[in-house]
Amino acid sequence: MPKRVKLEPHLSTKELEAKYRRTKEGIERSHYQIIWLLSQGKTAQEVAELTGYSRVWVYELVKKYNLLGEKALGDKRKEKCGREPLLNEVQQAQLWQALQEQPADGDLWSGPKVATWMSEILARPIHPQRGWEYLRQMGMRRRRPRPEHIESDPQVQQAWKKKLSQQVKLVKKSHPEAQVEVWAEDEHRVGLQPVNRYIWVPQGEQPIAKVNLKYHWMWLTGFVEPTTGQTYWWIVPRLNWHIFERMLLDEAQYFGLGSEKRVILALERASFHTSEKITVPDGIHLLFFPPKSPELQPAERLWPLTNEAIANQAFVDLDALEEVTAHRCRVLMARPEKVRGVTAFDWWCDAVAV
C-alpha cells in the first residue's frame, strides 16, 4: 500500500482548502493545493499526477512545510529582491573575466563550478544553485559550439557569399524566362553504429538503448532548398562519380529542369563531385563551397533531423535501417517548415533574393 505523507498540523485541511481557493498568485496557489491534497490522505504520487509537479519536489515542499509551516509556501524569490547580492560589482567583473578562460583544473564551467569559484572568493560555502543563477544573471547560456575548421578563412568565406549572389544574378540574366532556385547538397554516412540522443524518462530511471555494433554503412544524400525547406533524397550503398551523375540526372528529370527552371547547386569539392567524367544535365549549375567551410553548408543541418528517427535503436541489418531512414526522409519532405527552420541562414536568403 502506498505510504502516506506525514504533515505537521500547522493548518487544518479546511484552512488549507480556504487558502488554496482564495489565493490568486500561481506558485503560492499550487503550494497550498499540494499540501491540501496531502492533508486529505492522498499519496505523493497521486498529488504529483494531479498537479504536474514531480514526486521528489512534493517531498521537498513537505519537508519545508513541516519545518517552517505556512512560511514555506509561496514564491520565495520575491523575498530576495532587497537583499545584497552575494558578489559585489568588482567580484562579478572578476567572475566574468574568469569565465572567458578554461578553469585551471581543466574542467568546463558549470553551475557547481561557478559556486566553487564563489566559495573561494567569499571564503564560505556557496550552494551550487547560486552558481547557476549567476551564470543566468550574467547573460550566459549553455550552447554546444559550432565546429569551425582551424584553417578556415573568414575572408574567403565572405567572398564566397558574394559569389553566390553574383552567380544567381548571372543565371537569371542568362535565362531571363526561367525560374532560378539555389539548392545545397551534402552526404551523410549512416550505419549500424549507435546514434544516442537524450530522452525524457522518470526521475531515477536509467534509460537503456540496445545497440548492434557492426561496421556496416550506407550513404544518405540530401538536397535542400533552404528558403522553402524543400528536400530531395537518395540512399546509396557507396559514393562515386557515376552515382553522383545519376543523382543529378534524376534531379533534373524530377524537377523538370531546363529552359524554364534552373538550379544552382552548392556543394563541397569531393573528388566524385569534381570528376571530369561527370556530365552535368542542362538546368543545373554547380557552385563549390570554399575549402574547410562546413558552417556555410545548409545541408549539414539536415543530419540531426534524419538521425532523430534512428537514435537509440539497434538495427539487425542495413535493410532495416534503410526502411526507417527512407520513411524519415518522406516525413521531412512533407514538413518543409521544419527543414527551413534549421537551414535558411539569413545571409543565404539575402544572397539568393537578388
Q: pLDDT of the chain along its 354 residues, tens only?
A: 456 788 988 999 999 999 888 988 888 888 999 999 999 988 988 888 888 888 888 888 898 898 888 888 887 665 555 567 889 989 999 999 999 998 888 889 999 999 999 999 999 899 989 999 899 888 888 887 877 888 889 999 999 999 999 999 999 999 999 999 999 999 999 999 889 888 888 878 888 988 888 899 999 999 999 999 999 999 999 999 999 999 999 999 999 999 999 999 999 999 999 999 999 999 999 999 999 999 999 999 999 999 999 999 999 999 999 999 999 999 999 999 999 999 999 999 999 987
Domain end: 31, 52, 79, which one?
79
Our measurement of the distance from residue 128's CA atom to the centroid of its chain's CA atoms, rounded to an integer in Å, reads: 25
- The pairing of strands 230-236 and 261-267 is unpaired
pLDDT of residue 267: 97
Number of structural domains (the chain) is 3
Expressed as residue numbers, the domain containing 100 is 87-137
Q: Answer yes or no: are the C-beta atoms of 107 and 113 closer than 8 Å.
A: yes
Domain end: 79, 95, 125, which one?
79
pLDDT of residue 106: 85
Q: Is residue 142 part of a domain?
A: no
> By 3-state DSSP, what share of the chain in percent is helix, strand and coil, each rounded to 5?
50, 10, 40
Listed in sequence order, the residues at least 6 apart from 304 whose beta carbon sits closer than 8 Å to its beta carbon are 342
Listed in sequence order, the residues at least 6 apart from 227 whose beta carbon sits closer than 8 Å to its beta carbon are 182, 340, 344, 348, 349, 352, 353
**Are residue 188 and residue 322 in the same domain, yes or no?**
yes
**Are residue 159 and residue 241 in the same domain, yes or no?**
yes
Cα-based angle 319, 321, 322 (whole degrees, multiple of 5):
65
**Are residue 68 and residue 176 in the same domain, yes or no?**
no
Q: Is residue 232 part of a domain?
A: yes
Q: Is residue 276 part of a domain?
A: yes
pLDDT of residue 64: 87
**Are residue 323 and residue 184 in the same domain, yes or no?**
yes
pLDDT of residue 204: 82
pLDDT of residue 1: 47
CATH of residue 324 = 3.30.420.10
**Are residue 176 and residue 299 in the same domain, yes or no?**
yes
**Are residue 178 and residue 233 in the same domain, yes or no?**
yes
**Are residue 48 and residue 97 in the same domain, yes or no?**
no
**Are residue 125 and residue 243 in the same domain, yes or no?**
no
pLDDT of residue 82: 55
**Are residue 131 and residue 271 in the same domain, yes or no?**
no
Q: What is the 8-class DSSP label of residue 294?
A: G
Q: Is residue 4 part of a domain?
A: no
Q: Is residue 5 part of a domain?
A: no
Q: Is residue 218 part of a domain?
A: yes
- From residue 127, alpha-carbon distances to 61, 109, 136 in Å are 18, 15, 15
pLDDT of residue 144: 79
Rounded to two decimals, the pTM is 0.68
**Are residue 110 and residue 69 in the same domain, yes or no?**
no
Q: Is residue 6 part of a domain?
A: no
Q: Is residue 161 part of a domain?
A: yes
**Are residue 65 and residue 176 in the same domain, yes or no?**
no
Domain end: 56, 79, 102, which one?
79
**Are residue 228 and residue 262 in the same domain, yes or no?**
yes
